[in-house]
A = this chain, B = another copy of it.
Amino acid sequence: MRTSEGVEWGLHCCLTLVWVGGAEPVPSARLAAVFELSPTYLNKVLQRLTRAGLLSSTPGPRGGVRLAREPERITMMDVVAAVEGPDPLFACAEIRQHGAGAEGAAPREFARPCGVSTAMRRAELAWRRELSGRTVADLAAATPAASVARIRANYARLAGTSA
């Protein structure tokens, strides 16, 4: 089990949009150039963020994507859920209800979820809570100012060459 590569892409792109994106939309191709990523696949990732309502996209020349709301209101959990999908980490298949071990069991016995599922869900909840507690703005604030300045300068140069 491994999280998609797209999660890292999405988070870094959101950060970049915090720094360089004002009201002007940023083309996904330019974001791909910033991180040297596959432009078309990054486009696909940004599509998911857009469908999730985290980004808003504008077509046409001078188009691109920009944050749909303030970075303080975009949590890491939002980004992860948008890219990875809404499925939980652990999908309980209820194997306890099948096979010879379950024969003769009262149906009401399975009304409550099994302990395995509950415990896995509890752990997953801790993960989600941690991700929900940190926003894109927090990540931006924790980045050294020198790095931010460099990224802004490099981006401006990139935008100047219209790449």
The interface of chain A, by Cβ under 8 A from chain B, is: 1-5, 7-9, 11-12, 15-16, 33-37, 76, 84, 87-93, 95-96, 98-105, 109, 114-116, 119-120, 122-124, 126-131, 134, 138-139, 142-144, 146-147, 150-151, 153-155, 157-158, 163
Contact = CB atoms under 8 A, between A and B. Distances in A.
A126 B131 CA distance: 10
A34 B127 contact: no
Given A76-B119, A109-B144, A143-B115, A99 B3 contact: no
Given A119-B134, A127-B127, 8 more contacts: A1-B2, A3-B120, A7-B120, A36-B100, A76-B120, A109-B150, A115-B143, A126-B127
A143 B3 CA distance: 32
A8 B116 contact: yes
